[in-house]
Structure 1
Amino acid sequence: MSHGDEQGYSDYGGTGHTRTRLPDHDPYGGAPRRPTRSSSRGLITVVGVVVLLIAAIAFANRGDDSSPGNSPARSSRPQTTSTAPTGTHPVNTKTAGIPSGFAQTEQGAESAAANYAVALGSADMFNTVKRHAIVDTVYAPEIAAARQTAMDKAYSSQEFLANVGLAEDGSPPKGQLFVSRVVPVGTKIVSTKPGETTVEVWYTTLFGLSGNASKNPVTESWYTSTYVLKWVAHDWKISSDQQKDGPVPLGRDQRASTADDMTKAVEEYGGFTYAR
């Protein structure tokens, strides 16, 4: 996410969080009623669906059983090395509540980038003291002060806070829970050179106010952030970063959870320390 002049979320006062207003009524209107059909027609439909499903499963499982001429070369198939587990344990130390002390390896850089994305997209960024601690922890010393100034300006904007639905001190309205959470989906090494590694982190965000009276319900967005990490004082630190939208998956037609369910989930489910 771009934290050059702001946190990098451009849609909300320069912080990049997006908001989608959900309709007040149930967009699904309850379970749809099926039209009345004859029993014979229903049986034919069910049989047809089963036949198609069996055919799809057989096609999907064909894999390497196909003849070499019809199967793509193994070398041309997508690789999963960028997200495959390595068996190496994640770090067991923290600085300002953020995992730290990453190894000077590609895996260590990927883990650092993912964890830093989580910290920079957290609700703690809306608290001045906690924000300062995060910025000082994840950014290289030579740019931390500049980032601090830019982010203080962005996060103290009364117009921005009002649009988000927060008070001047960054607190949510009574009876509502402010949600700002980044969930990394995968990481990728872009380039490496002595003392520097560039990592991309693909992630989804949850952002909004959870509560029955919320006018800014929790919604999801998708981004990819690119972090240039430098090896400083025995750890990886961000020397520059930028953010772009997507890739965005096609959403399923799932019914949105109630405000109470969303609040309960956010309060009960904590985050992870990310490591490959």
Structure 2
Amino acid sequence: MSHGDESGYGDDAVRTDDPYSTIGGTRQTRTRLPDGEGDGYGTSRRPARKPRSLVTVVGVVVLLLAAIAFANMGGGDRNDNGDGSGGSGSKPDSSSTAATGTKPVTGKNGTIPSGFAHDEQGAQSAASNYAVALGSVGMFKADTRRSIVQATHDPAVVENLLAAMAKAYSPNFFKNVGLNEDGTTPSGLTFVSRTIPVGAKVIEQSGDTATVEVWCTGLVGMAGQGSTKPVTATWFTLSEKLKWVGGDWRIESSSQKEGPTPVNGDNRASTADEIAGAVEGYGGFTYAR
């Protein structure tokens, strides 16, 4: 989706002028494609990072519109130190990327994992799984959006958040991301919106509250022959303020910023049909820390 500096959908979440959602960074990368055959999207070589297009901005915002809406309502804190890293910037120890050995939860609230442990590990798992849900295609449909928000957020903030989102998901917004004005996907195309957590860490935790940062990569765009908005990858960090409510962790507020963003490799860009087939053929995961 797309929006601006905690007031709408853009600045923060957009890469500033190298920005991303209410929620952004500064690193440029180039992807070199082989000469000759096209990439399936009508170009023979991907340009070296144009100014942020609306689709990219919208994509990152989509990955957590919840954060944008909260920012609009003044409910989301933003830690934007400009370096794409979260927290105090201290060096991670060897355990920061190690698995805890705790198995993923087996409970479900609708289609969303639930029943997380009331500790740091549980908070990280909850934040990671909620990031996936809030960055999914389901957020573009009113009925599934409601169920996702209800399953991931503190009941005290749900209705105000949904009201803000109802305004954000307008016919013009849908049109700008390549969907029909009613939010449906054009015939012959596949709309892609996925968030994939890369790592998580607890910034602070005390009793029934916790703040967790989740470093993510995401995919957003249209896959299929004739797509004018190809699927692109984004990198961003989500900060979720969690509260222990009704025996589980729920989001009180959230924010997002761009990065850390790695340098792209020289992988050949897949064709539109290859991307569509992968999205339809590969499912997601339940995340545990």
Q: TM-score range by the shorter chain?
A: 0.7 to 0.9
Residues 5 and 151 in structure 1, CA contact (< 8 A), matched pair in contact too: no
1:124 counterpart residue number: 138
1:112 counterpart residue number: 126
Unmatched tracts of structure 2, length 5 or more: 15-19, 25-38, 47-89
2:78 counterpart residue number: none
**AA partner of residue 42 (structure 2):** D
User: Could you tell me the TM-score, scaled by structure 1's length?
Assistant: 0.75
CA distance, structure 2, for counterparts of residue 16 and residue 120 of structure 1 = 14
Q: Please state whether the residue corresponding to 1:24 is helix, strand or coil.
A: coil
Which of the residues 252, 270, 275 maps onto 2:283?
Answer: 270
Distance 1:102 1:218, change over 3 A: same
Distance 1:80 1:274, change over 3 A: farther
Q: 1:255 Cα deviation (Å)?
A: 1.2
Residues 5 and 147 in structure 1, CA contact (< 8 A), matched pair in contact too: no
Identity %: 50
Q: Please state whether the residue corresponding to 2:274 is helix, strand or coil.
A: helix
CA distance, structure 2, for counterparts of residue 269 and residue 5 of structure 1 = 35
Which of the residues 88, 113, 124 maps onto 2:102?
Answer: 88
Q: Please state whether the residue corresponding to 1:238 is helix, strand or coil.
A: strand
1:231 aligns with 2:244: yes
1:199 aligns with 2:212: yes
Q: Which has the higher helix share?
A: 1
1:138 counterpart residue number: 152
1:101 counterpart residue number: 115
Q: 1:79 Cα deviation (Å)?
A: 1.6
- Taking only aligned residues, the RMSD between alpha carbons, in angstroms, comes to 2.7
CA distance, structure 1, for counterparts of residue 203 and residue 217 of structure 2 = 20
Distance 1:14 1:167, change over 3 A: farther
CA distance, structure 1, for counterparts of residue 45 and residue 123 of structure 2 = 43
CA distance, structure 2, for counterparts of residue 167 and residue 161 of structure 1 = 6
CA distance, structure 1, for counterparts of residue 116 and residue 97 of structure 2 = 17
Q: Please state whether the residue corresponding to 1:82 is helix, strand or coil.
A: helix
1:26 aligns with 2:44: yes
Where does 1:24-63 land on structure 2 (aligned, <5 Å)? 24-27=42-45
Larger radius of gyration: 1
Unmatched tracts of structure 1, length 5 or more: 29-75
CA distance, structure 2, for counterparts of residue 205 and residue 160 of structure 1 = 19
CA distance, structure 2, for counterparts of residue 77 and residue 6 of structure 1 = 33
The number of aligned residues is 223
Q: Which runs of 4+ in 1 moved over 4 A?
A: 1-11, 13-17
Q: Please state whether the residue corresponding to 2:97 is helix, strand or coil.
A: coil
CA distance, structure 2, for counterparts of residue 252 and residue 208 of structure 1 = 20
User: Could you tell me the TM-score, scaled by structure 2's length?
Assistant: 0.71
CA distance, structure 1, for counterparts of residue 208 and residue 244 of structure 2 = 5
Summarize deviations over 1:113-161 as a string: whole Å, max 9, x none: 0000000000000011000001111110111111111111111x12211
Residues 82 and 189 in structure 1, CA contact (< 8 A), matched pair in contact too: no
Q: Please state whether the residue corresponding to 2:179 is helix, strand or coil.
A: coil
1:182 counterpart residue number: 195
2:221 counterpart residue number: 208
Q: 1:93 Cα deviation (Å)?
A: 0.8
Distance 1:194 1:7, change over 3 A: farther
CA distance, structure 1, for counterparts of residue 193 and residue 94 of structure 2 = 29
**AA partner of residue 43 (structure 2):** H
Q: Please state whether the residue corresponding to 1:168 is helix, strand or coil.
A: coil
